[in-house]
């Protein structure tokens, strides 16, 4: 099968990582796979078996027209059996391109509960009939789209993201090795957060909570992996709170699996999420999770960890206290159950489901 994945970009991010992982797994199964991306540089790169097509979009009307024509020409020349778009710009674009270029089967996947305001929701609704299948990454995200009028009720399917449980594994040897290399000080403990430094992830709220928590737990440091527009503001906040020696902004990292294994606790403080891929990765890595009940996070965790209300900083502080106060028996039980849940989200199962949808066989 010839499969063209279309994505807004290939920057460092959970959705982008998911697109690349899906492409690689499809290629491993013998399919002819390519990724077309609208903007930006390639920061998350697939394997050599997956072809890349930059579309060269820009925000100007002329750039938009050029990109549409480029994608339409690519589809006519490459003639994929399936076009699978990801994220708002790619979803809306492929639907418009379908008007001028034949697409045998179009699957459109949103990756969040909130992909824009009223006009984006209206655009989704008006172009809905141009997609053969419309999906989102959690049931909560599907219901949010329905509430916002972006899709008719019952039209959008919930299809969970998948994680590479081979990469994010929790064997004792790997955990010990990661800890010794990355955080060797045995007198201290590590709290880890991974995510783009953007408003959605609420790192500012996490830092406020950590300022109080760090006084109660003087042996815990916070590492935040990721980059984004709020980096300078978060650095200043750390300085204002006197946390320069307790908080490290790691920037973009390519060793997230090792970071997950090295950490004592993983935390996600997001205002909203589509799925919460990093939560599943932490669970697979054998690291207890403290996370806000944002989007599909509750669906990911299924009770395995500490789930707290969104924007409740008092509850976040209490959950961190409890996570770092667990005895060994409770911790082992929690991480073992979480690992079993993470295995249910193996990306190979996701690929099986996507192939069924590509072939018109129903729901993943």
- Which pLDDT value is given to residue 362? 55
Higher-pLDDT residue of 273, 250: 250
Query: Quick one: which of 73, 62, 1 has its CA closest to 36?
Result: 73
Q: What is the pLDDT of residue 157?
A: 94
Q: What is the pTM of this model?
A: 0.83
> Helix count (H) and strand count (E) of the chain?
14, 13
Give the integer Cα–Cα distance in Å for 304 and 341. 8
Task: Give the pLDDT confidence score for residue 59 in this predicted structure.
Answer: 64
Q: Do 2-162+346-358 and 172-343 show the same overall fold?
A: yes
pLDDT at 151 over 70: yes
pLDDT at 298: 94
The sign of the torsion formed by the CA atoms of 139, 145, 149, 152 equals: negative
The confidence score (pLDDT) of residue 364 equals 43
Q: What is the pLDDT of residue 65?
A: 78
pLDDT more than 70, % of the chain: 98
CA distances from 188 to 267, 320, 363 (A): 17, 15, 47
Please write the tens of the pLDDT for every residue from 29-88. 999 999 999 988 888 899 999 999 998 887 676 777 777 888 999 999 999 999 999 999
Domains of the chain, by residue range, sit at 2-162+346-358, 172-343
Domain 2-162+346-358 homologous superfamily, CATH? Glycogen Phosphorylase B; (3.40.50.2000)
Confidence bin at 274 (pLDDT 50/70/90): confident
pLDDT in tens, 209-218: 999 999 999 9
Candidate CATH numbers 3.40.1280.10, 3.30.1330.10, 3.40.50.300, 3.40.50.2000; the one for domain 172-343: 3.40.50.2000
Kindly state the average pLDDT of the residues 321-327: 97
The answer to whether 284 and 337 have CB atoms below 8 angstroms apart is: no
88-98 and 61-78 helices cross at what angle (nearest 10)?
70
Angle CA 83–20–4, to nearest 5 = 15
The yes-or-no verdict on residue 244 having pLDDT over 80 is: yes
Q: What is the pLDDT of residues 157-176, one digit of tens each?
A: 999 899 999 899 889 999 99
Q: How far apart are CA 304 and CA 130, in angstroms?
A: 39
| Per-residue pLDDT band at 117 (split at 50, 70, 90) | confident
């Amino acid at each position: 099968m010839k499969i063209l994945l279309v994505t807004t970009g290939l920057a460092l991010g959970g959705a982008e990582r998911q697109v690349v992982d899906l492409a690689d797994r499809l290629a491993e199964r013998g399919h002819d796979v390519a990724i077309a991306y609208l903007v930006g540089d390639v920061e998350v790169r697939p394997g050599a078996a997956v072809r890349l097509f930059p579309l060269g979009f820009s925000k100007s009307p002329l750039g938009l027209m050029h990109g549409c024509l480029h994608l339409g020409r690519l589809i006519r020349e490459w003639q994929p059996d399936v076009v699978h778009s990801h994220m708002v710009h790619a979803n809306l674009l492929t639907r418009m391109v379908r008007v001028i270029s034949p697409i045998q089967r179009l699957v459109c996947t949103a990756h969040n509960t909130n992909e824009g305001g009223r006009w984006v929701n209206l655009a989704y609704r008006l172009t809905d009939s141009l997609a053969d299948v419309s999906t989102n990454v959690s049931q909560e995200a599907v219901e949010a789209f329905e509430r916002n009028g972006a899709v008719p009720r019952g039209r959008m399917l919930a299809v969970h993201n998948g994680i590479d449980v081979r990469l994010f594994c929790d064997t004792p040897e790997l955990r010990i090795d990661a800890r010794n290399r990355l955080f060797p000080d045995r007198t201290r403990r590590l709290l880890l957060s991974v995510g783009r430094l953007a408003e959605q992830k609420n790192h500012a709220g996490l830092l406020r909570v950590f300022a109080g928590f760090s006084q109660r737990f003087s042996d815990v440091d916070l590492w935040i992996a990721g980059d984004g527009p709020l980096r300078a503001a978060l650095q200043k906040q750390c300085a204002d709170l006197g946390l320069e020696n307790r908080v490290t902004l790691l920037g973009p990292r390519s060793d997230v699996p090792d970071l997950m294994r090295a950490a004592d606790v993983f935390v996600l403080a997001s205002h909203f999420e589509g799925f919460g891929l990093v939560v599943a990765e932490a669970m697979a890595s054998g690291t207890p999770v403290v996370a806000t009940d944002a989007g599909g996070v509750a669906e990911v965790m299924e009770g395995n960890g500490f789930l707290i209300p969104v924007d409740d900083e008092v509850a976040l502080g209490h959950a961190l206290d409890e996570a770092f106060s667990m005895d060994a028996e409770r911790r082992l039980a929690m991480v073992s159950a979480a690992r079993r849940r993470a295995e249910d989200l193996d990306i190979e199962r996701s690929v099986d489901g996507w192939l069924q949808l590509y072939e018109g066989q129903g729901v993943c």
